[in-house]
Amino acid sequence: MFVDVAKIYIEAGNGGNGAVSFHREKYVAAGGPDGGDGGRGGNVVFESDDNLSTLMDFRYKKKYKAMSGGDGRAAKSSGKNGEDIIIKVPCGTIFRNIQTGGVIADLTLPGERFIAAKGGNGGFGNVHFATPTRQVPKFAKPGQKGQNLEVQLELKLLADIGLLGFPNVGKSTLLSQVSDAKPKIANYHFTTLEPNLGVVRMGLEESFVIADIPGLIEGAHEGIGLGHEFLRHIERTRLLIHVVDVSGVEGRNPIEDFDTINAELINYSPILAQKRQIVAANKTDLQINPELKDGFISEMKKRGYEVFEISAATKAGVSELLNYAYETLKTIPKLPICEIEELPEMAEEEEEPYAVTKDGDVFVVEGSYIEYLMNSTNFDDNESLQYFQNTLKRKGIIEALEKAGIQEGDTVRMYELEFDFVY
């Protein structure tokens, strides 16, 4: 089965905690602080690999977590940095932030890398908090939490040319004749249930990639007949060869078929509607109604399309079609398929948010920075408590409480901690 969409949860490693430690040595009665810093958490990294062709593995494993950093140790020893986790994906994979719907990365070339979630910084050890007046700091900083994100992976085939058309019009036969691809071929609709890629060689170091897109039907832009999955793969192509059955074997009207497919492209994406098309009038070796074929070719030429009469089964007219398509490709630049949404940077300590609200008569202060500050504080130690109070002033939290209307003696709650406000 061709798997081209997957949703996974990724989580970078947390930073290690800083250590509270004091130098101990024979004949040294009171050594100074020597707690080391915590190590940085590992990143979650995606890497494109041209040996992969589907997102099948992500059906079975949906959560990926990088290693956290090690805690700091005595003797100013820093904790070990957490190892990054490298996740391999096929070339042509885009990454979508499920929360916003925006595309955050597009890996097209082998070996490209994208850091999807950054590990947290390690916390400072108590050696950083020693001052002339605070010579025995009994507190340290905890490590920052790593970023986490729910991501949707979408694989879009990387092909220069897409074969477009209704089911059973001969696209798979054409692909098998012009490349080494071995698609499943049979005389019934939806033989092709997954896109097939083939390399068409035009000469020494001259080639292009062609994709047999599974047949579209009316309503494909609404997802009918797996339409969304099929249309997704056409987006990356630069040129479309629209294969139409002009034999009349199935009693279809080729002009109506051509218009129906193009209507689906327009309804699905304006980008697709603007792509250049070459028309391949196929199955000319099975002519039941020559007037049907002639009328179709005449109408296409009136609309300005280049039309080639071919028989994919016998290869008649196929060389002329490929030569024209190859020369046309040279005139079409490669354009980006989507706009990239930048991920938010890992917030530094100074930028961590907090909010002041009221719960009845109680002033509530919450936010990720408040959590971080409280985890950094040893409330049983006077020096640590003093550092906590000074930080509230330095970070503007006291000022924010005053703006909210707090008075002396009012109660302040920070998660599990409650205290009376005193100027």
pLDDT of residue 16: 95
Q: Are 133 and 187 in the same domain?
A: no
Q: Are 174 and 314 in the same domain?
A: yes
Phi, then psi, of 348 in degrees rounded to 5 = -80, 165
CATH number reported for the structural domain that contains residue 235 in this entry: 3.40.50.300
DSSP label at residue 32: -
DSSP label at residue 396: T
**Residue with structure tokens 């309503």?**
219
Is residue 179 included in any domain, yes or no? yes
Q: Are 142 and 174 in the same domain?
A: no
Q: How many CB atoms are closer than 10 A to CB 337?
A: 16
How many domains would you assign to the chain? 3
Rounded to whole angstroms, the Cα distance separating 65 from 50 reads 24
Say if residues 146 and 119 touch (Cβ distance below 8 Å).
Answer: yes
- Mean pLDDT along residues 92-100: 87
- Mean pLDDT along residues 33-40: 93
Mean pLDDT, the chain, whole residue set = 82
pLDDT of residue 25: 73
Q: Are 108 and 224 in the same domain?
A: no
Q: Are 184 and 290 in the same domain?
A: yes
Q: Are 134 and 166 in the same domain?
A: no
Domain range for 62 is: 5-155
Structural domain ending residue among the three candidates 329, 364, 383:
329
Q: Are 208 and 277 in the same domain?
A: yes
- The first and second tokens of residue 83, run together, are 């190892």
Helices of type H across 331-421:
368-376, 382-394, 397-403
Q: Are 110 and 182 in the same domain?
A: no
Mean pLDDT is lowest, of 147-161, 311-325, 345-359, 403-417, for: 345-359
Is residue 346 included in any domain, yes or no? no
Q: Across the chain, which distance is largest between two alpha carbons, in Å?
A: 108
Element (H, E) at 255: helix 254-268
- Mean pLDDT along residues 238-256: 89
Mean pLDDT is lowest, of 46-60, 78-92, 204-218, for: 204-218
Q: Are 310 and 374 in the same domain?
A: no
pLDDT of residue 348: 45
Q: Are 325 and 180 in the same domain?
A: yes
* pLDDT bracket for residue 349 (50, 70, 90): very low
pLDDT of residue 233: 61
For the chain, how many residues are written?
A: 423
Residue 192 has pLDDT above 50, yes or no: no
* More confident position, 203 or 322: 322
**Residue with structure tokens 């030569």?**
323
What are 149-172's pLDDT values in tens digits?
999 998 876 678 888 888 888 888
* More confident position, 218 or 395: 395
Q: Are 126 and 180 in the same domain?
A: no
* pLDDT bracket for residue 267 (50, 70, 90): confident
Residue 338 has pLDDT above 60, yes or no: no
Is residue 341 included in any domain, yes or no? no
Mean pLDDT is lowest, of 133-137, 252-256, 390-394, for: 133-137
Q: Which amino acid is at 393?
A: K
Say if residues 236 and 197 touch (Cβ distance below 8 Å).
Answer: no
Strand positions, DSSP E, 213-285: 239-245, 276-282
pLDDT of residue 195: 62
pLDDT of residue 255: 95
pLDDT of residue 100: 84
